[in-house]
Structure 1
């Protein structure tokens, strides 16, 4: 092997590289690691050759299998690649040799599949270095190559680069430790790349072009969710139209590029809706226009003569309306996810609960079924609506909570005897809200009875009240000979409670105003309650006639009231407080809430429609609730003890080694299957498939592991469940 890998005949080298298994160095063959330097040099020769039929993919796979070795073995004893003699040396530059070859292949490899493998090796190497916190200086260059490959002309290569960037999301905290600005920079690169690709992608008739932009959008979503909101609100400088410098937040640019994906790239022509361009991001660490060599083989995606076109799922032109709107649907999904979960995941329900588990039959006293059933449509308290042709809305009127600590939904305030439950189903999942109409603060018990006010008659005498301590009387004689009893200065405004029966209220108020605000006096030194002097044009006789007429009218009115006081039409009937009325309709409060929200208005009627209750609707509801709003995976984990070769002995293992248990513990966190509310992947809550299992989740993906050693092994049925 040593001599063959160093042979000057390239065909011999190619044959060895082609037929060596990708697991060559992990098989534990005696002396295999002594050939590491030979394989690195040989793989480099294959990668640098101009012969397209050389085993280029196999060479990249072998290099990729070695990227983790240097950190595991700091110094590798290996055969020296410069001599065919068996001379063992200690090598410390293995990592540099590997990454140099892989970086070069990721930029210049002419074979498309080999370029994809090189990008995968590059992504794995970055993860390896971040985990070991080596702070390797070439991490920046490796990131640059992956980010620039996102807009490569071959969409398969670009898709692999996107997948590698997506994988790095889980290492965002480590990447931020290595270079604090890197995660935010990656988000900006994704925004600028989508902005760059969108116009040509919309004009393209190939589905793979559109799927690349969809993958970039989903990658962008995971990177956004991995960073705190405070980081996303940082400013980014961009060059708009006419080279004007503008400053906006990264989150603002995110929503602008999503807006363009929903409504079309033509919106980018308006400076108001343009996010950022690739040239705005050029820096010492990132060259957006790094040169990447073109592939020297037929494009596998856009050429009908390529080998890929003969596969079961050939690359065809986009024809259906659904395929045409693929990018728009993905962008709407991302927007909805960000609005619902950015800065709020995981919530109090835990990472397994992203959406509501509540259904229309819960708390519904008209329905006794434990799941959605046709009897639900006979309930008068529920209606189904569709909003904007994108959202299914269920409105249910349910009984209010009573005797709940803290007052329940109404928080102790005065409320109605029914609540309204709104269940919303849209692109991002299902959500449930309970609402109660609140009238005011709670009624306090022990208050005195309301005071009754009756007509106070002039002939009813009131007991005399002594003058208060802050007032006294005196006689003042004015110029016209009239003697008036005036009240001295009051400290407060005269009120009904301080005025005696023989006192005139208006007189008291006028005196108070004139005393406290002398600027209001019409005649200097004369109080406002002193009558004005007799007009010159009126004689004393005319004045007396007017006074007598007024007194006569007053006397007649008083006698009339005394005579007819007990007549029915002279009394006001007592008014009783209306008693609360219970709405006759079982859907009243739902209709009231929808009306308050404006759903019944004329301008909303075009986008808000009532659905018919039928079997088809029930089937669709069940279908929607059975779908996961996140990407889901179930992965089986088996333990094979030393010497075990048959299926039965492997499946009946009830435990494993410490290394195995440590490996399982690193897969995710333990969840109790009996009350787990997330993705089950076929595992049961009845303990027939075990009590606990590892589970991992983000806001966009769920993974549950079927660990064979955690599952029962007592019966043949139990063993069958392990492999099913």
Structure 2
């Protein structure tokens, strides 16, 4: 029936099937005759004829299909659907598979009204009927791949059956969309098969992405979002059939991945008609919170590895949505039922988010987990607690801070360490001589110095306080010389699960040229506070409230402001613009009057009025008793030079409250003595070298027309214009020598470029084959093979007329291939080729058809999820924050110093003196006398406890998350 290996083209692979045009016409006549004439006794032969005809029709022929063949083929397919015979419909759906609509035949869209109802009916059936397998996966795939057709084609000619007469009608975009999505939802609602349900979720996610990117604000999307959110709790509501090798948790994890993918489109929800007052945001966030609450393990028996996967997937989906939803919607008060006093309780989305994270942490805190498989491996309950802790810290640190600048997304943490911005080498040498340091040991100089001290706070944070010279004294000093910046700066460096952060603190003194004015208030000052800010506020796309530029660069004072000006109001505006981190609320400035509490009682109101009246009376009495106006200048005294190189840091530490006795149980010193600093420095450098975000390496390969071997494919230095346009939207082109983010193993050579993408939680470096260069052809082939051969996920852009075969570029890795086939009608067909060990992922699926606008984002999201799915199968894989947790715990365990409160204060007061004293050897006689005296004291009275040596309470880890042992109910968070 076909000829093997006979072709007129020399570059075709051996063994290809080639259908000749004459054979196709003859086979068509034979098969169509058999279908129409075979009696009922030859039913199997009739079904075989349908199957063979469909296989010939959808095959990728080397020659174009004749019009006569298409006419008869489509007629037989339509007659098969209209016959109502389920077996024939099953054969047509399973044989056409995913290849029917991407052939771009002129009349293939005519059968849309026949395919979609048939696929819908198949999707609503059980997996097996009368011991026959139902092609549910093929049916849902056919429906899901049609979701991009309405927006791309705008209108299509379709067949309608009116009184047994076929007629071609023009169906517009809205009608096409309604027909396809109605059947897709119906087919998915009662589907209990895991694989087909996951394909339906992918189709819905692609449809939502399509509608949002095309700005179809009139199209309803709430029902589809509601369906995806309901799938988050599918395991608790429905019984999903699970095939061999699959887990029941895969359905919930897959739905959580789709919800997390849609988080990047949260800003596009603002203008949609279904998102009135943030209803779509509330639907998704509350759905994730509800699913998390239903999956909280009640006891250790309910805690299984699959539950951990579900909880962590839901936490990261919730975290992504909170990061992308505008802040104004997160702070909206919403009615959430009634509280214990039967009063309506209103909370915000951010409050509910922190509440569920704390509840999950507390629920797993008291579980006695199973034994560890390895010493460094986290138990299941520890893994959940660490995920909750990371989510809380990340929200507190990074919300509304990404990106740090408009064009810089490669860094979310600082590169500053303790050795930056120190004095010049000549001054450092003087410091070394003063402190008797070895000049060759620069790292030891940094740690073993009098201007630095390292602390451990809550057994979770490594905090360094460094006092460095202030190089911006002249810049920070005002023109009027009223405030003078100090010559040193207190630098605070914090290391935690999320990364490393730097905080520079400047201190200002009053200049000796400034004067104090004491005057009698002969006339009361009229204060007219504005009822509304004089500065407009605009909302950025990331939900951060910003002020228009303040016209004055100097702080407002009585000298530079006109009479009868509210200087306090001007000063608050100045602070809001120049120091926006001091603003308490993102929706209003510091000078705006706070809203009046809605539930203020009459008693409180009278008390406030009385307090204001008494204050006014006191001010009037002071005015009447003041003497005449006098001016007094501050004495121009010469301040003595200061030799304490840690004074500003010590003052800052004290102002933070870290030196208080009540906080003693939460703070400790790190051992920075000379014999210990080498190992401490090595471990700190190791911690700083770890990634602070999830990282992925993904290969991108271009296959030109007729290229079928690795040398010809890797010889490409550029691709077609559609391929180059795809790369520009896949990520950002960066120069590797200047790139500060994740490089994926690429060497930072000058004039070498690659494609990079990053968001708050993920970094991706694409190994683009057409951009990897070398000194010659052999070197270029070697580099491309080394980088691309080690990537587990490969994106293949092929313009070859044959299907891409994974043996073309055989590698030891390459577990997932995402193959992109451009179609003549402007759409793109996706083929997913994965190993059996890799679990399912989305949003793209095998056979998906998408348009150019959403292709790069969908391919990037699919590659990320494919890499995550592959890593879940690895035995020793741990998340990036878990690795940071392990290193931080190791540093704390090895280098934390257990001291009394008196020793702690002394070493914090003078860091170098404490380090020097610890290294000073003690005479043997003194040691013997100390041992004898201590033994005598213990012998005399063993019950005596010396105050300076009293035992400390154990350090509390994340105290606000510690559960209440006296009550099973979560303890409320109170301000201390």
Instruction: Give the superposition deviation at 1:412.
Output: 9.2
Instruction: Give the superposition deviation at 1:430.
Output: 0.7
Partner of 1:351: 409
Structure 2: gaps of 5 or more residues: 1-53, 55-73, 236-247, 367-372, 433-437, 516-635, 788-976
Paired residues of 2:414 and 2:500 also in contact (CA < 8 A): yes
Paired residues of 2:304 and 2:380 also in contact (CA < 8 A): no
Partner of 1:478: none
Report Cα offsets for 1:423-448 as digits up to 9, x if no partner: 1111221101223444x124449x9x
CA distance in 1, matches of 2:206, 2:249: 21
Pairing partner for 1:697 from 758, 761, 784: 758
Instruction: Give the superposition deviation at 1:187.
Output: 2.2
Q: 1:675 to 1:605 in 2, by over 3 A?
A: same
Partner of 1:291: none
Instruction: Give the superposition deviation at 1:168.
Output: 1.5
Instruction: Give the superposition deviation at 1:260.
Output: 1.8
Paired residues of 1:361 and 1:369 also in contact (CA < 8 A): no
Paired residues of 2:217 and 2:271 also in contact (CA < 8 A): no
Whether 1:244 and 2:343 are equivalent positions in the alignment is: yes
Partner of 1:309: none
Pairing partner for 2:285 from 164, 187, 204: 187
Partner of 1:362: 420
CA distance in 2, matches of 1:85, 1:254: 58
Q: 1:595 to 1:266 in 2, by over 3 A?
A: closer
Instruction: Give the superposition deviation at 1:357.
Output: 1.0
Instruction: Give the superposition deviation at 1:627.
Output: 2.2
User: Which of 231-240 and 246-255 deviates more?
Assistant: 246-255
For 1:323-338, list aligned pairs within 5 A.
Answer: 323-338=380-395
Whether 1:675 and 2:738 are equivalent positions in the alignment is: yes
Partner of 2:687: 624
Partner of 1:647: 710
Whether 1:429 and 2:487 are equivalent positions in the alignment is: no
Instruction: Give the superposition deviation at 1:59.
Output: 2.6
Q: 1:81 to 1:661 in 2, by over 3 A?
A: farther
Paired residues of 1:644 and 1:650 also in contact (CA < 8 A): yes
Partner of 1:420: 490
Partner of 2:783: 721
CA distance in 1, matches of 2:379, 2:763: 26
Paired residues of 1:377 and 1:614 also in contact (CA < 8 A): yes
Q: 1:136 to 1:64 in 2, by over 3 A?
A: farther
Q: 1:57 to 1:623 in 2, by over 3 A?
A: farther
Partner of 2:643: 583
CA distance in 2, matches of 1:241, 1:370: 66
Q: 1:226 to 1:108 in 2, by over 3 A?
A: same
Q: 1:712 to 1:404 in 2, by over 3 A?
A: farther
Instruction: Give the superposition deviation at 1:250.
Output: 2.6
Q: Which has the larger radius of gyration?
A: 1
CA distance in 2, matches of 1:173, 1:201: 39
Pairing partner for 1:635 from 698, 715, 723: 698
Q: Secondary structure at the residue paired with 2:388?
A: helix
Partner of 1:106: 188
CA distance in 1, matches of 2:203, 2:455: 51
Q: Secondary structure at the residue paired with 2:662?
A: coil
Paired residues of 1:77 and 1:88 also in contact (CA < 8 A): yes
CA distance in 2, matches of 1:398, 1:337: 29
Pairing partner for 2:312 from 201, 211, 214: 214
Report Cα offsets for 1:21-75 as digits up to 9, x if no partner: 5466446689765665554344334323334343322332232222212322234
Paired residues of 2:127 and 2:193 also in contact (CA < 8 A): no
CA distance in 2, matches of 1:65, 1:217: 30
Q: Give the length in aligned residue pairs.
A: 540
Pairing partner for 2:354 from 237, 244, 255: 255
Partner of 2:150: 70
Paired residues of 2:476 and 2:485 also in contact (CA < 8 A): no
Partner of 1:658: 721
Paired residues of 1:120 and 1:160 also in contact (CA < 8 A): no
Paired residues of 1:387 and 1:607 also in contact (CA < 8 A): yes
Which structure carries more relative contact order (alpha carbon 8 Å, separation 6+)? 2
Structure 1: gaps of 5 or more residues: 268-315, 448-575
Partner of 1:561: none
Report Cα offsets for 1:227-276 as digits up to 9, x if no partner: 22222211100113455322233322222223322333999xxxxxxxxx
Pairing partner for 1:599 from 653, 658, 669: 658
Partner of 1:707: 768
Paired residues of 1:652 and 1:713 also in contact (CA < 8 A): no
Partner of 2:510: 441
CA distance in 1, matches of 2:361, 2:655: 30
Pairing partner for 1:171 from 265, 272, 290: 265
Paired residues of 1:43 and 1:60 also in contact (CA < 8 A): yes
Partner of 1:57: 137
Q: Secondary structure at the residue paired with 2:664?
A: coil
CA distance in 2, matches of 1:622, 1:36: 61
Q: 1:31 to 1:627 in 2, by over 3 A?
A: farther
CA distance in 1, matches of 2:441, 2:147: 53
* TM-score of the aligned structures, taking structure 2 as reference length: 0.49
For 1:352-391, list aligned pairs within 5 A.
Answer: 352-364=410-422, 376-391=446-461
Q: 1:717 to 1:121 in 2, by over 3 A?
A: same
Instruction: Give the superposition deviation at 1:652.
Output: 3.3
CA RMSD of aligned residues (A): 4.1
Q: Secondary structure at the residue paired with 1:334?
A: helix
CA distance in 2, matches of 1:117, 1:442: 71
Instruction: Give the superposition deviation at 1:14.
Output: 4.1
CA distance in 2, matches of 1:118, 1:130: 18
CA distance in 2, matches of 1:88, 1:164: 37
Q: Secondary structure at the residue paired with 2:394?
A: helix
Instruction: Give the superposition deviation at 1:678.
Output: 2.3
Partner of 2:531: none
For 1:398-413, list aligned pairs within 5 A.
Answer: 398-401=468-471, 405-407=475-477, 413=483
Paired residues of 1:387 and 1:608 also in contact (CA < 8 A): yes
Instruction: Give the superposition deviation at 1:144.
Output: 1.2
For 1:76-91, list aligned pairs within 5 A.
Answer: 76-77=156-157
Instruction: Give the superposition deviation at 1:150.
Output: 1.3
User: Which of 590-599 and 158-167 deviates more?
Assistant: 590-599
